[in-house]
Amino acid sequence: MLNKTLMAADPEVYRLIEKETERQNQNAEMIASENFASKAVMEAMGTTLTNKYAEGLPGKRYYGGCKFVDVVEDLARDRAKSLFGADWVNVQPHSGAQANAAVYLAMMKPGDKLLGFDLSHGGHLTHGSPVNFSGILYEAHFYGVEKETGRLDMNKIRDKAKAVKPRMISIGASAYTRDFDYEAFRDIADEVGAFLWMDMAHTAGLIAAKQLNNPLPWAHVVTTTTHKTLRGPRGGMILIGRDTENTLGVVAPKSGRVKNWGEVLDGAVFPGTQGGPLMHVIAAKAVAFGEALQPDFVTYQQQVIKNAQAMGRVLTELGYELVSGGTDNHLLLIDLRNKNVTGKDAENLLGRAEITVNKNMVPFDTQSPFVTSGIRVGAPAMTTRGMKEPEFEYLARLLDKAISKPTDEAVHDSVAAEVKALCERFPLYDFISI
């Protein structure tokens, strides 16, 4: 049950939380970047740790009374190191975007060149988009996928890097369905004298479970969110691998000591881009990392991939065009142009049928980002609820049923009823009344 103190203190907010919980319980959540945190993760976020200011790092705080939160943060860092094979970790970023901002501050100067994955081809907003600080402050150039295959061509990326000569090359995507060749990217970065940065926000859980390649041995720096496939609280993190050079070569003016990248990135987080850390969220990160270190987390991530691929097979049989022809990870990018429906319309149609997806640009899209020609569909959230291949195959058919009858409200009502019945077989949280 939700805390009755909240119900008494603010019944309006309480009722809205109840309604959102009901929506999550009765809806097929298929947005690729969403997931359901465990009860333990949510409980950690709702604790007295939210009261504590702890600017600085464990053992080096600007406030007193940090002896217990220091242990919490050290626990989160140590678990993250074990999970990803990292040598250094900062768990303080409030979000993935803030983790990325700290990387830019530490490794680039305004006006420096960035070579990133084009947002319209599956990349990420903070990798040079002109409407984002990364595209405003830095000279952004882009690589993308091939029109024929929907995949990256490393030879063309090498040619682009040699022509641009960027200060940094970024990897990472919000809608790319294939794994990355980090060794090849590092080879390119070394050839042109660039830093290599991987933003693994979408695939961190799959990487932690060793279902996808690990960027830590190859990238100079790695960032991630802690939700999405990692299934923790909303937040960010920065990591450095054990097998990459960690020496910056900049001499600290007072001590004469040579700084390393960890020190520089720590400073770029605080005081560089944010103030006090959210200690209740860091506690929840520690809980989530502990969960991810358990054997059943690997089983979960294996099932995520199986479910995404099962759904992809059925959608292909039903005549849908999948960008790159399928998936190696947790998501599908569906090009709807052969179905004569836009991404925006499909998102709305499926929303009425209680299936939540997001409109998404596809490579070489002819529609605007507000309309798009595709949708992005993900498996993490419904896999968390316990669904497997048969349920995802069923969901694929329900998705098709709703899209194929865009003006038939009776069909949409029927699909919504089927979705609700399916969700009732896999209840989300049994401790919250709805």
Is 95 labelled as part of a ligand binding site? no
Segment holding 12, helix H or strand E? helix 11-26
What are residue 371's phi and psi, to 5 degrees?
-115, -60
Residue with structure tokens 């200690």?
A: 279
Which token pair is 80?
């993250």
Tally of residues, the chain:
434
Residues 6+ apart with CB under 8 A from 85: 214, 216, 217, 241, 242
Q: In the annotation, is 228 catalytic?
A: yes
Is 262 labelled as part of a ligand binding site? no
Catalytic member of 234, 337, 344, 397: 234
Catalytic member of 225, 327, 383, 384: 225
Segment holding 88, helix H or strand E? strand 86-90
Q: In the annotation, is 242 catalytic?
A: no
Catalytic member of 199, 328, 335, 418: 199
DSSP at 430: S
CA angle 209, 213, 216 (to 5 degrees): 90
Is 119 labelled as part of a ligand binding site? yes
Buried b (16+ CB within 10 A) or exposed e, 78-112: ebbbebbebbbbbbbbbbbbbbbbbbbbbbbeeee
Sequence-ordered strand ranges (E) for 168-275: 168-171, 195-199, 221-225, 236-241, 247-251, 258-260
Report d(CA 223, CA 172) in Å as an integer.
9
Catalytic member of 52, 167, 178, 228: 228
Is 36 labelled as part of a ligand binding site? no
Is 343 labelled as part of a ligand binding site? no
CA angle 16, 21, 26 (to 5 degrees): 125
Q: Region of 21 please: left (phi>0), alpha (psi -120 to 50) or beta.
A: alpha
Q: In the annotation, is 234 catalytic?
A: yes
The alpha-helical segments, DSSP class H, found in 212-294 are 261-269, 279-292
Please say whether the beta carbons of 62 and 268 come within 8 A.
Answer: no
Catalytic member of 55, 139, 146, 389: 55
Please say whether the beta carbons of 83 and 207 come within 8 A.
Answer: no
Omega within 30 of 0 (cis) for the link into 369: no
Is 332 labelled as part of a ligand binding site? no
Report d(CA 410, CA 419) in Å as an integer.
14
Is 370 labelled as part of a ligand binding site? yes
Report d(CA 367, CA 370) in Å as an integer.
8
Q: In the annotation, is 53 catalytic?
A: yes
Could you list the residues known to form a binding site, using ranges: 119, 123-125, 368-370
Catalytic residue positions, numbered: 53, 55, 199, 225, 228, 234
Binding residues for (6S)-5,6,7,8-tetrahydrofolate: 119, 123-125, 368-370
